[in-house]
């Protein structure tokens, strides 16, 4: 018999935040990391939910993120670039600090960029895209990762799984949002195949000699492949250039050198772009928000889905019915609260 406990979203937030405070995070770090983890759990996106708490604590314990960092923002007069120095902390607190400044600049200039430097990235980009759309702006967010993906035609890990995310604000419903890895599959999926003793689908990975493989062990020793062949490889490379080199932060191979492992949150920077529909569409025919609804209706009307709809449905259920956690999950939360960083081996 599976016993489940139902928690409201605020109740789960309280529990998770207590764990991070117990582990030594300051209020700004604990609050921000908690919000994204609970958002994942709330949206039934289990791979980015409470399962991630241990990874965050492991990164703290390894000394690869500063649990007491207080991010600082800098905006120069006349610049459309907002800079937030995460000061070695998690990206989330830095992004929370930067979003209102990004929105103000995007409204003033039409478009603006938020550069986050020296952060431990955690963990999906959709919460950040949704923070931009919540301001009534369209947004693009990207960051490197660790070198685990071979460029098309290559044989060695070089690019990260480099996520690319985009959002468009909608007035009467959840935003249009996508967020995907530029690798064919997430590294975690290869790990899941390995644990289950299953072969990988073809086209996911190459072995250490650069030959195609469906063996998860060989894939983990080799490299993953970009999605969409040379096109995905090009987008992954663009992300290294824009969200690594352009912003003066680490590229995926540099991240892996620095961490020496892919089991900790990657340390690097992040690039967020925001666009004001009012500013861009000014003086042109049609209302951009209404026109976007027409596009979405046409997509849905032919049986295709808009991305993130499963998450939004789960979000509505969590708001009305609460979040159900298994007895094992509750026990794990209790253990993490009790032991703090000692729970991490």
Contacts with a copy of itself in 171-190 (CB under 8 A)? 176, 178, 180, 182
Neighbour-count burial of 239, counting CB atoms closer than 10 A to its CB (0-12 exposed, 13-18 middle, 19+ buried): buried
**Which bin fits 88, alpha (ψ -120 to 50), beta or left (φ > 0)?**
left
Please identify which of the residues 47, 79, 173, 199 carries the catalytic annotation. 47
- The helix (run of H) or strand (run of E) holding residue 289 is helix 288-301
- Count of all residues that appear for the chain in the document: 345
Residues 255 and 288: their CA atoms lie apart, in Å, by 39
Please identify which of the residues 13, 48, 240, 270 carries the catalytic annotation. 48
- The helix (run of H) or strand (run of E) holding residue 213 is strand 212-213
Q: Are 113 and 82 in contact (CB under 8 A)?
A: yes
Q: Are 181 and 162 in contact (CB under 8 A)?
A: yes
46 versus 230: smaller Cβ distance to a copy of itself: 230
Site residue total, a copy of itself (CB under 8 A): 71
Please identify which of the residues 13, 96, 130, 189 carries the catalytic annotation. 189
Is there binding between residue 322 and a copy of itself (CB under 8 A)? no
Is the sign of the CA dihedral 60, 64, 67, 71 positive or negative?
A: negative
Q: Is 293 a catalytic residue?
A: no
Q: Is 79 a catalytic residue?
A: no
Q: How far is the CB of 209 from a copy of itself (least distance, A)?
A: 12
Tell me the two tokens of residue 51: 């399962």
Is there binding between residue 273 and a copy of itself (CB under 8 A)? yes
Is there binding between residue 166 and a copy of itself (CB under 8 A)? yes
145 versus 233: smaller Cβ distance to a copy of itself: 233
**Interface residue with a copy of itself, options 218, 242, 314, 324 (CB under 8 A):** 242
User: What is the bridge-based pairing of β-strands 138-142 and 267-275?
Assistant: antiparallel
**Site stretch for a copy of itself (CB under 8 A), options 21-29, 33-41, 43-51, 302-310:** 302-310
Of the candidates 88, 9, 99, 97, the one whose C-alpha atom is nearest the C-alpha of residue 49 is 9
249 versus 329: smaller Cβ distance to a copy of itself: 249
Q: Are 146 and 286 in contact (CB under 8 A)?
A: no
Q: How far is the CB of 204 from a copy of itself (least distance, A)?
A: 13
* 3-class DSSP assignment, residue 153: coil
Is there binding between residue 152 and a copy of itself (CB under 8 A)? yes
Write the CB contacts of 49 (distance below 8 Å, at least 6 apart in sequence).
Answer: 37, 38, 40, 41, 42
Q: How far is the CB of 273 from a copy of itself (least distance, A)?
A: 8
Q: How far is the CB of 230 from a copy of itself (least distance, A)?
A: 7
Of the candidates 270, 275, 281, the one whose C-alpha atom is nearest the C-alpha of residue 246 is 270
**Interface residue with a copy of itself, options 195, 197, 202, 285 (CB under 8 A):** 285
Q: Identify any residues that bridge with 5 across adjacent strands, giving them in sequence order.
A: 325
Q: How far is the CB of 24 from a copy of itself (least distance, A)?
A: 28
Q: Is 189 a catalytic residue?
A: yes
Q: How far is the CB of 264 from a copy of itself (least distance, A)?
A: 22
Is there binding between residue 208 and a copy of itself (CB under 8 A)? no
**Interface residue with a copy of itself, options 29, 34, 59, 117 (CB under 8 A):** 117
**Interface residue with a copy of itself, options 253, 266, 336, 344 (CB under 8 A):** 253
Residues 35-74 that bind a copy of itself (CB under 8 A): none
37 versus 273: smaller Cβ distance to a copy of itself: 273
* 3-class DSSP assignment, residue 51: helix
**Site stretch for a copy of itself (CB under 8 A), options 9-17, 39-47, 259-267, 274-282:** 274-282
Tell me the two tokens of residue 169: 């604000």
- Active-site residue list: 47-48, 189
């Amino acid at each position: 018999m599976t016993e489940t406990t139902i928690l409201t979203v605020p109740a789960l937030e309280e529990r998770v935040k207590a764990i991070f405070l117990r582990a030594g995070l300051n209020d700004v770090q604990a609050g921000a990391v908690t919000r994204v983890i609970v958002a994942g759990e709330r949206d039934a996106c289990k791979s980015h939910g409470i399962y991630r708490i241990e990874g965050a604590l492991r990164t703290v314990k390894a000394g690869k993120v500063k649990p007491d960092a207080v991010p600082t923002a800098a905006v120069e007069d006349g610049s459309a670039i907002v800079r937030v120095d995460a000061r070695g902390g998690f990206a989330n607190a830095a992004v929370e600090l930067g979003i209102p400044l990004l929105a103000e600049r995007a409204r003033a200039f039409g478009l603006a960029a938020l550069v986050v430097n020296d952060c431990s990235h955690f963990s999906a980009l959709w919460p950040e895209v949704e923070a931009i759309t919540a301001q009534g702006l369209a947004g693009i967010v990207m960051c490197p990762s660790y070198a685990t993906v071979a460029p098309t035609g290559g044989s060695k890990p070089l690019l990260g799984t480099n996520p690319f995310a985009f959002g468009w604000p909608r007035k009467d419903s959840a935003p249009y949002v996508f967020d995907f890895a530029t690798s064919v599959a997430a590294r975690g999926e290869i790990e899941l195949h390995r644990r289950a003793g299953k072969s990988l689908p073809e086209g996911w990975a190459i072995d250490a000699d650069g030959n195609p493989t469906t063996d998860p062990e060989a894939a983990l020793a080799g490299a993953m492949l970009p999605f969409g062949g040379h096109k995905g490889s090009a987008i992954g490379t663009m992300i290294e250039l824009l969200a690594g080199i352009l912003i003066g932060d680490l590229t995926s191979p540099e991240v892996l050198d620095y961490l020496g492992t892919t089991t900790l949150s990657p340390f690097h920077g992040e690039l967020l772009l925001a666009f004001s529909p009012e500013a861009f569409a000014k003086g042109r025919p049609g209302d951009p928000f209404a026109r976007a609804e027409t596009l979405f209706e046409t997509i849905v009307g032919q049986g295709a889905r808009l991305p993130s709809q499963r998450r939004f449905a789960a979000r509505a259920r969590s708001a009305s019915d609460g979040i159900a956690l298994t007895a094992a999950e509750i026990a794990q939360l209790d253990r993490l609260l009790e032991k703090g960083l000692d729970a991490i081996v």
